[in-house]
């Protein structure tokens, strides 16, 4: 059965929010634990929800730390966020070719909308499932299955594209094909361990994969 639906993670996959996220974590953690956290220390925090991350750091101050993080994140968003090479053109081609397109992210809606507008990607997606829309985020299957339902698509006709283990495991749990992106900040080797069906060196690789899937 050929693929007719593509679901994307947002951060680190479609838009380059890496510097924004890293600096937001360093700002927040620096306020509570001066000089304790370095850049490499916060890389494991990229992917899980903010609640999961800050609960692992300080269960007593989770909501407070999320608030500090989000305030900094939104204030610095438009300065630090960029799009990855090849993303806009590839997504536009997919849309023009009639594919159903959705986003499944562990971010909250208002920040997602901000990033999509900034990169002009908002015009291409029929469905955006954010943290606000689900009880259980990726790697649980719920958000992916929700996006598929809204797109009237079946898991076996879909592929989940992402830069983190949550995306690959989430896709597998939902029964979709999976694709990792080699530009993940955690490194290609890290993502390969989760055995995605495909690894993209550039987003345009997706077009070749979809063509091959039709055979």
Domain ranges of the chain: 5-16+82-213, 18-80
Q: Give the bridge partners for 101, in sequence order.
A: 6
* CA dist., res. 29 & res. 202, Å (int): 33
pLDDT digits (tens, 9 = 90+) for 117-145: 999 999 999 999 999 999 999 999 999 99
pLDDT digits (tens, 9 = 90+) for 149-205: 999 999 999 999 999 999 999 999 999 999 999 999 888 999 999 999 999 999 999
pLDDT at residue 2 tops 90: no
The residue from 9, 11, 16, 167 that is catalytic is 9
Query: 100 vs 126, 135, 163, CA distance in Å?
Result: 7, 24, 20
pLDDT bucket at 47, cuts 50 / 70 / 90: confident
- Residue 1: the pLDDT is 66
Residue 90: name the closest of 208, 204, 213 by CA. Answer: 204
Question: Quick check: 144 and 156 in contact, CB under 8 A?
Answer: no
DSSP letter, residue 71: H
* CA dist., res. 46 & res. 59, Å (int): 18
- Taking all residues of the chain, what is their mean pLDDT, rounded to a whole number? 94
Phi and psi angles of residue 102, each rounded to the nearest 5 degrees, phi first: -140, 160
Query: Domain 18-80, what architecture?
Result: Orthogonal Bundle (1.10)
Is 9 a residue of the active site?
Answer: yes
pLDDT digits (tens, 9 = 90+) for 52-76: 999 999 999 999 999 999 999 999 9
CATH among 3.40.50.1000, 1.10.620.20, 3.30.750.24, 3.30.70.360 for 5-16+82-213: 3.40.50.1000
Look up the pTM and report it: 0.91
Residue 203: name the closest of 12, 58, 4 by CA. Answer: 12
Question: Quick check: 102 and 126 in contact, CB under 8 A?
Answer: yes
Question: Quick check: 150 and 127 in contact, CB under 8 A?
Answer: yes
* CA dist., res. 168 & res. 197, Å (int): 9
Please classify residue 129 by burial: count the beta carbons closer than 10 Å to its beta carbon, then call 0-12 exposed, 13-18 middle and 19+ buried. buried
Q: Assess whether the region 5-16+82-213 and the region 18-80 belong to the same CATH fold.
A: no
Dihedral angle computed from the Cα positions of residues 150, 155, 157 and 160, in that order, rounded to the nearest 10 degrees: 90
Q: Give the pLDDT mean for 83-105.
A: 96
Residue 15: name the closest of 160, 119, 141 by CA. Answer: 119
pLDDT at residue 215 tops 80: no
Give the 3-state secondary structure of residue 131: helix
């Amino acid at each position: 059965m050929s693929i007719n639906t593509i679901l994307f993670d947002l951060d680190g996959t479609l838009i380059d929010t890496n510097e924004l996220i890293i600096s937001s974590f360093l700002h927040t953690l620096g306020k509570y634990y001066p000089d304790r956290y370095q850049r490499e220390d916060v890389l494991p925090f990229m992917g899980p929800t903010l609640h999961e991350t800050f609960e692992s750091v300080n269960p007593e101050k989770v909501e407070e730390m999320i608030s500090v993080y989000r305030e900094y994140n939104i204030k610095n968003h438009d300065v630090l966020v960029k799009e990855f090479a090849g993303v806009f053109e590839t997504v536009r081609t997919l849309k023009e070719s009639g594919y159903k397109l959705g986003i499944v992210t562990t971010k909250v809606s208002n920040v997602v909308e901000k990033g999509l507008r900034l990169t002009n990607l908002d015009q291409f997606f029929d469905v955006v499932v954010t943290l606000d829309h689900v009880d259980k985020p990726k790697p649980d299957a719920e958000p992916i299955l929700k996006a598929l339902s809204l797109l009237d698509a079946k898991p076996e006709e879909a592929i989940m594209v992402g830069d983190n283990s949550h995306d690959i495991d989430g896709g597998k749990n939902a029964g979709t094909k999976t694709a990792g992106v080699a530009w993940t900040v955690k490194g290609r080797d890290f993502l390969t361990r989760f055995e995605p069906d495909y690894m993209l060196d550039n987003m345009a690789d997706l077009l070749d994969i979809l063509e091959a899937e039709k055979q």
